[in-house]
């Protein structure tokens, strides 16, 4: 068998795939990254104007990787998180000061993060970037995987890392099944200006149709993720700006005073999608290609980032074959519990808070009050939201690879 062209091929150059490539920048591996969208255009769907909530744990990871210095000027710190339930008493407040951390997290536009990641990748002379290119065929061979690109090139690798999103091409080519839960909800996204300063507070406001999240941004703007019943998004997005803001005000309330301005709006359906077999022969799925979550707790990219640093930790010191079954088994053993816990917690929150059951409503209200009054419970919630676990890869512990 001929020598493989690469040790690792990453399919997908969004935030997760690019982060994995950069995490291994100091390794001896020969790596290629395949991306369908030209990085020089604005078409890359991962790099739009959505606000990305980075947990404190993710900020530490990006700092250890050497990226935070470039990301920091584009970010806004989250000093407090206010959690409430519309129509019920009770709220919980998480505070960076109480948790003894500089910030609970950071908010950054996906577009700004994309520019930093793309610049970092372009400066990595050991990384081959094949862009714009699409994978059109996949062939398992005895000691490697062969990919056929849309320009008819054939390239081989000892390991394929599929970071190509919820509609993964690699998953489709392998004809893998997925487990899917359709929440019958749609997220409306926009940037909002408010009358009162947000003071670096983030808000999670539960309603019977789903949560409303407002994340702090510069210039007293907030990044909005408004969950509505699927089918209602068209009528809401058809409203003019004044009517749209009035409708949002009715749902959210006046904790930030009047909503004064709204930017470009977008929307996307909300489903929980899990790849049933995320580990294949010489192939591993990470990020949204493995698990696409509801944004209710803002854990999507944070979990994907933890996926790739765990995988990088397993692979960085390998000197021969990155695709050995042992490596993929070690990665799965490491990350499976984290994935399962986040998916179960997110799914439970959606089911518990996205309804108008009066019994559950009173229970939620009592739970929020109790949580706010019990420091150990609140500390546990804050620790989980910050992405801090027990067994963490080196990059999460401040140790460079």
pLDDT digits (tens, 9 = 90+) for 307-328: 999 999 999 998 889 999 999 9
How far apart are alpha carbons 367 and 274 in whole angstroms? 29
DSSP string, 54-71: EEHHHHHHHHHTT-HHHH
Choice between 173 and 122, residue whose per-residue pLDDT is larger = 173
Total count of domains within the chain: 1
Query: Which stretch of DSSP H or E encloses residue 369?
Result: helix 358-373
Q: How far is CA 27 from CA 30, 33, 69, 313, 317, in A?
A: 9, 15, 22, 11, 7
Choice between 386 and 321, residue whose per-residue pLDDT is larger = 321
Can you point out the beta strands (E) in 218-319? 221-229, 259-262, 266-275, 279-280, 283-285, 291-292
How far apart are alpha carbons 327 and 160 in whole angstroms? 13
Residue 46 belongs to domain with CATH number: 3.50.50.60
3-state secondary structure of 158: strand
% of the chain beyond a pLDDT of 90: 62
In sequence order, what are the residues at sequence separation of 6 or more whose Cβ sits closer than 8 angstroms to the Cβ of residue 203?
81, 82, 83, 84, 212, 213, 214, 252, 255, 256
Give residue 255's Cα distance to chain centre.
27
The encoded tokens of residue 344 equal: 């179960």
Across 91-110, b (16+ Cβ under 10 Å) vs e yields: bbebbbeebebebbbbbbbb
Q: Is residue 258 part of a domain?
A: no
DSSP code for 355: S
The pLDDT value recorded for residue 357 is: 47
Model confidence over 166-200: pLDDT tens digits?
Answer: 999 999 999 999 999 888 999 999 999 999 999 99
* Averaged pLDDT score across all residues of the chain: 87
3-state secondary structure of 251: helix
How far apart are alpha carbons 187 and 266 in whole angstroms? 8
DSSP code for 144: S
The pLDDT value recorded for residue 377 is: 53
The encoded tokens of residue 136 equal: 């059109």
Q: Is residue 208 part of a domain?
A: no
Judged against a pLDDT cut of 60, whether residue 362 lies above it is answered with no
Q: What is the largest CA-CA distance in the chain?
A: 68
Q: Is residue 259 part of a domain?
A: no
pLDDT-derived band at 285, boundaries 50, 70, 90? very high
Q: Is residue 386 part of a domain?
A: yes
DSSP code for 3: P
The pLDDT value recorded for residue 366 is: 46
Cα pseudo-dihedral 341, 176, 5, 115, rounded to 10? -50
DSSP string, 176-245: --EEEEEEEEEEEEEEEEESS--TTEEEEEEETTEEEEEEEETTTEEEEEEEEETTSHHHHHTS-HHHHH
How far apart are alpha carbons 168 and 153 in whole angstroms? 20
Nearest to 300 by CA among 399, 225, 382, 206: 225
Q: Is residue 170 part of a domain?
A: yes
Q: Is residue 224 part of a domain?
A: no
Give residue 264's Cα distance to chain centre.
21
**257 φψ region: left (φ > 0), alpha (ψ -120 to 50), beta (else):** left
Model confidence over 333-350: pLDDT tens digits?
Answer: 889 888 888 888 777 777
Q: Quick one: average pLDDT of 269-293? A: 92
pLDDT-derived band at 28, boundaries 50, 70, 90? very high
Look-up of token digits 């990219």: 301
Q: How many CB atoms lie within 10 A of CB 137?
A: 11
pTM: 0.90
Q: Which domain holds residue 175?
A: 6-180+271-397
Q: Is residue 25 part of a domain?
A: yes
Q: Is residue 199 part of a domain?
A: no
Model confidence over 56-106: pLDDT tens digits?
Answer: 999 999 999 999 999 999 999 999 988 887 755 667 788 899 888 999 999
Of 57-61, 132-136, 194-198, 374-378, give the lowest mean pLDDT range: 374-378
């Amino acid at each position: 068998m001929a020598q493989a062209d690469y040790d690792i091929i990453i399919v997908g150059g969004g935030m997760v795939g690019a982060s994995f490539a950069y995490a291994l920048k100091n390794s001896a591996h020969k790596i290629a990254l395949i991306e369908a969208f030209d990085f020089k255009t604005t078409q890359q769907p991962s790099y739009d104007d959505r606000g990305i909530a980075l947990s404190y744990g993710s900020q530490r990871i990006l700092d250890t990787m050497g990226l935070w210095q470039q990301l920091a000027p584009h970010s806004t710190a989250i000093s407090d998180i206010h959690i409430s339930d519309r129509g019920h008493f009770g709220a919980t407040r998480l505070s960076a000061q109480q948790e003894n951390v500089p910030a609970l997290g950071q908010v950054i536009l996906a577009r700004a993060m994309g520019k930093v990641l793309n610049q970092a990748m372009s400066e990595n002379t050991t990384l081959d970037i094949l862009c714009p290119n699409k994978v059109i065929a996949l062939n398992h061979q005895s000691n490697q995987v062969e990919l056929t690109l849309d320009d008819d090139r054939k390239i081989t690798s000892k390991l394929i890392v599929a970071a190509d999103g919820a509609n993964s091409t690699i998953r489709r080519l392998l004809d893998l099944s997925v487990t899917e839960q359709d929440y019958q909800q749609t997220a409306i996204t926009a940037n909002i200006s408010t009358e009162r300063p947000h003071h670096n507070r983030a808000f999670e406001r539960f309603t019977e149709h789903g949560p409303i999240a407002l994340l702090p941004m510069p210039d007293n703007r907030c990044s909005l993720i408004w969950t509505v019943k699927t089918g209602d998004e068209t009528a809401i997005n058809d409203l003019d700006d004044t009517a749209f803001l009035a409708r949002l005000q009715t749902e959210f309330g006046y904790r930030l005073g009047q909503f004064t301005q709204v930017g470009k709006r977008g929307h996307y359906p909300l489903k929980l999608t899990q790849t049933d077999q995320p580990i294949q022969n010489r192939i591993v799925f990470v990020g949204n290609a493995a698990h696409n979550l509801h944004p209710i707790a803002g854990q999507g990219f944070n979990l994907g980032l933890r996926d790739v640093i765990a995988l990088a930790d397993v692979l960085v010191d390998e000197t021969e074959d990155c695709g050995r079954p042992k490596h993929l088994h070690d990665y799965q053993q490491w990350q499976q519990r984290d994935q399962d816990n986040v998916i179960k917690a997110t799914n439970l929150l959606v089911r518990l808070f996205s309804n108008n059951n009066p019994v559950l409503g009173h229970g939620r209200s009592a739970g929020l009050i109790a949580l706010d009054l019990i420091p150990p419970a609140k500390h546990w919630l804050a620790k989980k939201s910050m992405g801090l676990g027990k067994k963490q890869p080196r990059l999460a512990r401040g140790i460079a690879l």
